[in-house]
Structure 1
Amino acid sequence: MHLKEITSQGYYIYEAPVRLWHWITALSIVVLAVTGYFIGRPLPSIQGEATFMFWMGWIRLIHFTTAYIFTVALLFRIYWACVGNEYAREMFLVPFWRRAWRKGVISEIRWYFFLEKEAIVTMDIIRWRDWR
C-alpha cells in the first residue's frame, strides 16, 4: 500500500499514560540540560545579601527535583510496559520475531537512504481490529 492510498484519519495507538510519559520525559531532559549547564558554568557572583541571591541554590533544587520526576516517570513507564497494551510493551520488547515488523523497518531504512522512490506502509504491523 502506498502513502497516496491512505486516508488521513487519526487513531490513537499509544495510550494516554505512554503519551504523558513521553512529554514528561522530554520536558525533564530539557530542564536537566539547562540547569546542568548552569551548574557546570555558574552565573557570575553578584554582591549583596546571600538571602536574596540564592540563584544557584534554586537552580540545583530545580535540577534535583526534575531528576526525581524523571526517575519516577521512568519507573512508571516500566510498570506500564507490563500492564499496558501491546504498543506500550513495544519499547521494551521490540517484536523482532514478526516478519511484518522486520519488513517495515528494512523498507523504511531503504527509503531514508533514497534506495526506494516511495515509502511503503506495511499495515500488517497494526492489527486491523485496532483501526476500526
Structure 2
Amino acid sequence: MRTERANHGGQIERRDLKVIVGAAIIEGGRVLACARSAPPEVAGMFEFPGGKVEPGESETAALVRECAEELAVRVEIGERVGRNVRMAHGRSVLKVYAARLLHGDRPQALEHSALRWLTAAELDDVTWLPADAPIVAALRPMLTRG
C-alpha cells in the first residue's frame, strides 16, 4: 500500500505502508486472544497473533508463518475481518483475517504471556491493543453465527 502527504515545502511525498497481518483464529464459536508479554507499556494487553508481511511475501503466507512462529500451529486463512486499521503514526496498516486450526494443532504461548479462547459475549472481558480493538466489533457476528 502507498500513502501520500505533503511535506513542509508542499511537495508530495510517497511512501509504502508496512502491512501487519493478524489472525482471528476461530474454533467452536470462540476466538483466540493472545496477551502481549512486551514491551512493558502494552504487556498484558490482548491482540490477534500475527506480524509484518516481509518483502515478496503474500499476506496469507505471512499469517501462516507468524502463526507457526508464535503459536506452533498450522492454520488455514479465510475471509477478511473488519477494515484496514491505520497504526504506528500512519506508517503501518493492520489487516486481520479469519483463520482455523489444522490437523488438531493446539496453540502454545511461545511469544505471549497468556492465551484465552473468547466467545462473542466474552470479547469485552480483556483489554485489546488499540489497533486490534476495531476488529472486535466486526468479529462478534462471525462468532455468533458459528
Q: TM-score range by the shorter chain?
A: under 0.3
Q: Which has the higher contact order (CA 8 A, sep 6+)?
A: 1
In terms of fraction of residues, the more strand-rich structure is: 2
Larger Rg: 1
Superposition TM-score, scaled by structure 1 size = 0.22
Normalized per residue, the structure richer in helix is 1
- Report the TM-score, using the length of structure 2 for normalisation: 0.21
